[in-house]
């Protein structure tokens, strides 16, 4: 379980740094917004290019992809139904809540856990690429529609994903991987340098929000947050197990990997996306905080039962 502990410890340390800097007055909420926008528009797209260009795209086409996708579809559908029928949320707020429930931290935590706990970093590929190729572009398109002040034409809706920095970075990285191409060093080196800012900047921005923003638990009511946490930490890994084991016949390390990936906490990317669109920002922050704390015992139990 060394990888689990190290992964969580690293994230918590950088978040604490952001909170400390906010506490002593080095940064404020304006800095938090700047860091979030820098991560969204610049650093994260660069990181996606550098990571995906070295990823074996064929590894995503597997039973793990099917089980992971099924777990995401179930929790997103449940939250969307609750949000629309019971909570009367708008489109943008429903999308952010759905991301909180189904978008896992496959990058920051998934990679080290796959490498150090499961022994193969490639096991994170189905969850990572499914989110980058399907869930994230779809969510960003819906958010663009939800926050638009005018009715979008069909061409605007279709083309929006290809005008989003995160989606463009994903597509460039996948094209480079599929064609076994490499960027010139004069381009690749700056991309690696800028991409290195993505995770620290989003974590520091998150820490600033924890210290200076509204207190945890005020982002949509305790019932909304509890619904998200239950979907994220109980329903999603349970669906991944049921689909993977009983429908797809998975077992051993492959099944363990699918369930652990589904049990990962809400990704910090969701907080960055919520900040970018200024919708349910505090809810996204609280979901990341609560699911991160609870995912430690969840992943420990999963590993003990299935290892």
DSSP string, the chain: -HHHHHHHHHHHHHHHHHHHHHHTTS--HHHHHHHHHHIIIIIHHHHHHHHHTTS-GGGGSSHHHHHHHHHHHHHHHHHHHHHHHTS---HHHHHHHHHHHH-B-IIIIIHHHHHHTSS-GGGGHHHHHHIIIIIHHHHHHHHHHHH-SSPPPHHHHHHGGGGSHHHHHHHHHHHHHHTT----HHHHHHHHHHHTTHHHHHHHHHHHHHHHSSPTT-SS-HHHHHHHHHIIIIIHHHHHHHIIIIIT---HHHHHHHHHHHHSPBPHHHHHHHHHHTSSHHHHHHHHHHHHHHHHHHHHHHHHHH-
| Domain containing residue 190 | 2-306
CATH classification of the domain holding 34: 1.20.1530.20
Band (136; pLDDT cuts 50, 70, 90): confident
Q: What is residue 157's predicted lDDT score, i.e. its pLDDT?
A: 57
Does the pLDDT value for residue 242 go beyond 60? Answer: yes
CA torsion angle 306 292 106 201 (round to 10): -160
Band (101; pLDDT cuts 50, 70, 90): very high
When mean pLDDT is compared over 66-70, 133-137, 157-161, 198-202, the highest value belongs to 66-70
Does the pLDDT value for residue 219 go beyond 70? Answer: no
> 51-82, pLDDT tens digit by residue?
778 777 666 567 888 999 999 999 999 999 99
- What does the alpha-carbon distance between residue 166 and residue 261 come to, in Å, rounded to a whole number? 22
Q: Which residue's entry shows tokens 């939800």?
A: 146
Band (241; pLDDT cuts 50, 70, 90): very high
Out of 7-11, 88-92, 192-196, least confident range: 7-11
**Cα dist from 277 to 106, 140, 163, whole Å:** 22, 9, 15
- What does the alpha-carbon distance between residue 148 and residue 71 come to, in Å, rounded to a whole number? 30
Cβ atoms of 225 and 217 closer than 8 Å: yes
Average confidence (pLDDT) over 249-275: 88
Mean pLDDT for all residues in the chain: 83
The C-alpha R_g of the chain, in whole angstroms, comes to 18
Band (100; pLDDT cuts 50, 70, 90): very high
Q: How many domains does the chain have?
A: 1
Band (113; pLDDT cuts 50, 70, 90): confident
Average confidence (pLDDT) over 28-39: 88
Cβ atoms of 68 and 131 closer than 8 Å: no
SS (H, E, C) 134-193: HHHHHHHHHHHHHHCCCCCCHHHHHHHHHHCHHHHHHHHHHHHHHCCCCCCHHHHHHHHH
Cβ atoms of 304 and 8 closer than 8 Å: no
Query: What share of the chain in percent tops pLDDT 70?
Result: 84
- What does the alpha-carbon distance between residue 171 and residue 175 come to, in Å, rounded to a whole number? 6
Cβ atoms of 258 and 67 closer than 8 Å: yes
Query: What share of the chain in percent tops pLDDT 90?
Result: 31
pTM of the model: 0.75
Does the pLDDT value for residue 124 go beyond 80? Answer: no
Does the pLDDT value for residue 236 go beyond 90? Answer: yes
Average confidence (pLDDT) over 212-234: 80
When mean pLDDT is compared over 22-26, 30-34, 62-66, 175-179, the highest value belongs to 22-26
């Amino acid at each position: 379980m060394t990888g689990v502990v190290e992964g969580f410890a690293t994230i918590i340390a950088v978040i604490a740094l952001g909170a400390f800097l906010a506490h002593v007055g080095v940064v404020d909420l304006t800095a938090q917004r700047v860091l979030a926008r820098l991560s969204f528009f610049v650093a994260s797209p660069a990181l996606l290019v550098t990571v995906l260009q070295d990823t074996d795209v064929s590894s995503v086409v597997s039973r793990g992809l099917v089980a992971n996708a099924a777990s995401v579809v179930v929790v997103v559908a449940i939250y969307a139904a609750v949000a629309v029928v019971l909570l009367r949320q708008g489109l943008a707020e429903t999308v952010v809540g759905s991301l909180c429930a189904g978008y896992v931290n496959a990058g920051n935590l998934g990679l080290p856990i796959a490498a150090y706990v499961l022994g193969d970093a490639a096991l994170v590929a189905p969850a990572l690429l499914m989110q980058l190729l399907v869930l994230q572009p779809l969510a960003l398109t819906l958010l663009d529609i939800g926050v638009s002040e005018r009715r979008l034409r069909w061409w605007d809706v279709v083309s929006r994903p290809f005008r989003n920095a995160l989606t463009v970075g994903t597509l460039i990285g996948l094209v480079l991987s599929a064609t076994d191409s490499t960027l010139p060093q004069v381009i690749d080196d700056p991309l690696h340098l800028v991409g290195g800012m993505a995770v620290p900047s989003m974590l520091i921005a998150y820490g600033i929000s924890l210290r200076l923003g509204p207190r945890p638990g005020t982002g949509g009511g305790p019932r909304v947050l509890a619904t998200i946490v239950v979907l994220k930490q109980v329903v999603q890994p349970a669906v991944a197990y049921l689909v993977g084991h009983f429908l797809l016949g998975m077992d051993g390390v492959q099944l363990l990997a699918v369930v652990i990936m589904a049990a990962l906490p809400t990704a910090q990317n969701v907080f960055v996306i919520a900040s970018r669109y200024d919708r349910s920002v505090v809810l996204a922050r609280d979901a990341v905080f609560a699911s991160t704390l609870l995912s430690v015992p969840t992943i420990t139990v999963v590993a003990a039962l299935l290892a």
